Amino acid sequence: MQAMEKALAVPGLPPHDPGTPALSVVDMHTGGEPLRIVLAGCPEVVGPTLLAKRRYMRQHLDHLRRRLIFEPRGHRDMYGAVLVPSELPDAHLGVLFLHNEGYSSMCGHAVLALGRFALDFGLVPAPPAGAREVRVNIHCPCGLVAAFVECEGGRSRGPVRFHSVPAFALATDLLVDVPDRGKMLVDIAYGGAFYAFVSAEKLGLDICSAKTRDLVDAASAVTEAVKAQFKINHPESEDLSFLYGTILTDGKDPYSEEPTTNICVFADEQVDRSPTGSGVTARIALQYHKGLLELNQTRAFKSSATGSVFTGKAVREAKCGDFKAVIVEVSGQAHYTGTAIFTVEDDDPLKDGFLLK
């Protein structure tokens, strides 16, 4: 016992391949949705722009995504962030988002966490004495997003809010034939990523009481049907022209002071534990487009998975190509959960991870 305690007290790494850098990470969560932020160990991600870096990582460094996200170091619903330099002069940092299928264009829960992380780990200038809030400009693949971090004594505290890229409704009341579930009207909106929106009731489900597996199956069926029957086009970038997932709602779109509940299923049937920051952004844009919400009218959005709540509001009108858009403010609380160092042994046949389905 004493020998074990002595060994544990000595800093160092377990046996590992010396030619493979250890990956050092900080883990956080926002409303229950995890975020694994890479501190060190990632090779240089090459590219003149953030979208080029995203393509480079997909083509040349995807094994690192699998090591970070997949079992045995992660799980099929893990989420990650690799910090990279940005070509934008106003950005404090650039970020690539990692999930079980690949690389997202936007992640609101991650932005809320990264706002805290950037302040606490010195990625932005130290705030002046007495400052109560710090702005952190985060370059996401969809564009520049401003996070506003509450602080005290130069450290983060309390909720974070962010202002989105221009968000807009792409299609409303789109008739989609979902195999084995029938034809239904679906909305598609953009909040840094494109989502399909449909009331769970149309699929015969109660968003608050249905089994998660049933919600996942239904949302995935909608996603596949929309992909097969409707072409997603972003007016400014082909890199952003894809459907990220489907958000099932309680159908309570008209304004109310009571929270409206939803669940987001994205990537390869990955379930967001939070209300989904970019999904809230898109849903606010959709409600504003339909005349159900006014500027600066705050709504609360509740996750059916964990009960966690984000708030959102449209703060001003904007344009994205020919689309009328809005800038949306989303607010939520992120927390730190720990740190880790991940290593690889070169004879490990599962070193790059695996997923069970």
User: 10-residue block means of pLDDT along the chain (357 residues)?
Assistant: 40 89 97 98 97 98 98 98 98 98 98 98 93 97 98 94 98 97 97 98 97 98 98 96 98 97 98 98 98 98 98 98 98 98 96 93
Residue 143 amino acid letter: G
Q: Which residue has the tokens 């034939």?
A: 177
Cross-strand partners of 334: 30
One fold for 13-164+336-342 and 165-330: yes
Under a CB-based contact definition with an 8 Å cutoff, are residues 245 and 238 in contact? no
Q: Is 264 an active-site residue?
A: no
Q: Which CATH architecture has domain 165-330?
A: Roll (3.10)
Under a CB-based contact definition with an 8 Å cutoff, are residues 118 and 124 in contact? yes
Domain spanning 13-164+336-342: CATH 3.10.310.10: yes
* pTM attached to this predicted model: 0.96
Under a CB-based contact definition with an 8 Å cutoff, are residues 70 and 39 in contact? no
- The whole-number pLDDT of residue 6 equals 43
- The whole-number pLDDT of residue 310 equals 98
- The whole-number pLDDT of residue 101 equals 98
- The whole-number pLDDT of residue 11 equals 58
Cis preceding linkage at 72, omega within 30: yes
Measure CA 220 to chain center. 18
Length of the chain: 357
* Active-site choice (42, 107, 140, 142): 107
Report d(CA 58, CA 156) in Å as an integer. Answer: 32
Domain chopping of the chain, boundaries: 13-164+336-342, 165-330
